[in-house]
Structure 1
Amino acid sequence: MAKTEILGIGDMRAGFERVRDDMRKRTSRRMLVAAGGVLKGKAKVIALANGSRRTGAMIKNIAIKRETSAPAGTEQYHLGVRHGRNLTAKAKKSGAHLAVSKKGRIVKRYEDDPYYWRWVELGHKVVGRATGETGQQELTYTRKGRSGKLITYKRKRSADSLRARQARASGSVAAKPFIAPALEQGRGEALKAMESKLQQDLEKAGKA
């Protein structure tokens, strides 16, 4: 069996070593889910304090998710906001609808999709809407080719394209982070929740 290691819990490692081999995966998941629940609750509280609405889609979709591609012998969970294809099946089924994109393509969109959550977490530029301007811009840039020599390239883009509007943007909206502060502020409570689950499993194993 691959060695199981839990990172960042210090003195709990010795206690975890006493867990039976056949229980380690289950116990490690229970510990991380307990810690994730604490951090998720903390993130929701911080988001509300930042001014987000209680019934807003962003807060409702703050969640933890298990990493299915974690390295062998480890368990990983992510704290973030479900959005787009990662919304729950119920949310996608009840709120899905077809729409025509700006490029004329038929796309699937979801109601109450908090696709914007990273803008809230990290801040963002204020980008103007497309105005229908028909002019073009010529861009010149230099980069190394396969031979290692610098090559100058030229390309054109619409003056009304998203990239062009982003380049012209001068204003910005300050970040209102809630994920990063939750990870920092909730660390102690999360470790206590992990320790509690560990002790529960050790007690169960002792009674078995």
Structure 2
Amino acid sequence: MAGNTQILGIQGLQAKFLELRQDMTIKTARRMVASAGSVLRTEARAIAQSHGLKKSGALLRNIAIKRERRAPAGTEQYNLGVRHGRDLGNGKKVIKYLEVGKSGRVVTRRQNDPFYWKFLEFNTKYRNATPFIQTALENKSEQAVTAMQDRLDKDLAKYK
């Protein structure tokens, strides 16, 4: 969603990160990135609500961070996005129902599915974009790095 965004100011974290015990580096890295992601998620929800994108609340409830399981070796990666379609459940039971689509076929729909989030985030032929995820990254990148720093300091004090 954000493309190849580079966040600067992380060099200072690297030296402190090397002070951790070897068995705690993966856990701490995941906690650090998740804390930064939660800052961005909160901002994305606030921006989406300020744009008036809350009709049913499904879009705001489904803005989430998710750990990338197939991240390159030596990195931790979380994705910020909107759960929709098959990924909507996240362990919860999702109410599905059958409906006749525009072409006359029977299709499966999910209750409170914010499938339309891409139309809001990106331009379409009929509508200009009202981005909330990209704007959250632009607005809160420094606070995300600060949240990573705070999480690292907390883990250093606990596991050193």
Bucket of the pairwise TM-score, normalised by the shorter protein: 0.7 to 0.9
After superposition, residues 89-168 of structure 1 pair within 5 angstroms as 89=90, 93-125=93-125
Would you say 1:203 and 2:157 are equivalent positions? Answer: yes
Distance 1:94 1:178, change over 3 A: same
Q: Which amino acid aligns with 2:42?
A: G
Larger Rg: 1
Please, which of 187, 190, 193 is the counterpart of residue 141 of structure 2?
A: 187
Aligned sequence identity (%): 46
What displacement does 1:99 show? 2.6
Q: Match for residue 23 of structure 2?
A: 22
| SS of match in other structure, 1:52 | coil
SS at match of 2:11: coil
Could you tell me which residue of structure 2 aligns to residue 130 of structure 1? none
The CA deviation at 1:52 is 1.4
User: Higher relative CO (CA 8 A, sep ≥ 6), structure 1 or 2?
Assistant: 2
Distance 2:61 2:84 in 1: 11
Which segment is superposed worse, 82-91 or 109-118? 82-91
* 1:32-71 mapped onto 2 (5 Å cutoff): 32-53=33-54, 55-71=56-72
Higher strand share: 1
Alpha-carbon separation, structure 2, partners of 1:13 and 1:180 = 26
Aligned amino acid, residue 40 of structure 2: L
CA distance in 2, matches of 1:42, 1:54: 18
Which residues of structure 1 form unaligned runs of 5+? 1-6, 126-171
- Aligned equivalents of 1:27, 1:193: Cα separation in 2: 13
Task: Specify which of 116, 130, 139 is matched with residue 176 of structure 1.
Answer: 130
In the aligned structure 2, how far is the partner of 1:89 from the partner of 1:80?
13
Amino acid at match of 1:180: Q
Deviation at 1:101, TM superposition (A): 3.5
Kept in 1, the 8 Å contact 2:40–2:140? The answer is: yes
Distance in 2 between the 1:198 and 1:57 partners? 33
**2:3 corresponding residue in structure 1:** none
> For the Cα contact (< 8 Å) 2:68–2:79, is it kept in 1?
yes
Work out the CA distance in 2 between the residues paired with 1:116 and 1:197. Answer: 34
Give the TM-score normalised by structure 2: 0.87
Structure 2 gaps of 5+ residues are: 1-6
Deviations 1:167-206 (A, max 9, x none): xxxxx21110000010111111111111111011111123
1:22-60 CA distance string (max 9 Å, x none): 101100000011011100000011111111127521111
Summarize deviations over 1:71-128 as a string: whole Å, max 9, x none.
111110001100001112465x342112333445443210111111011011212xxx
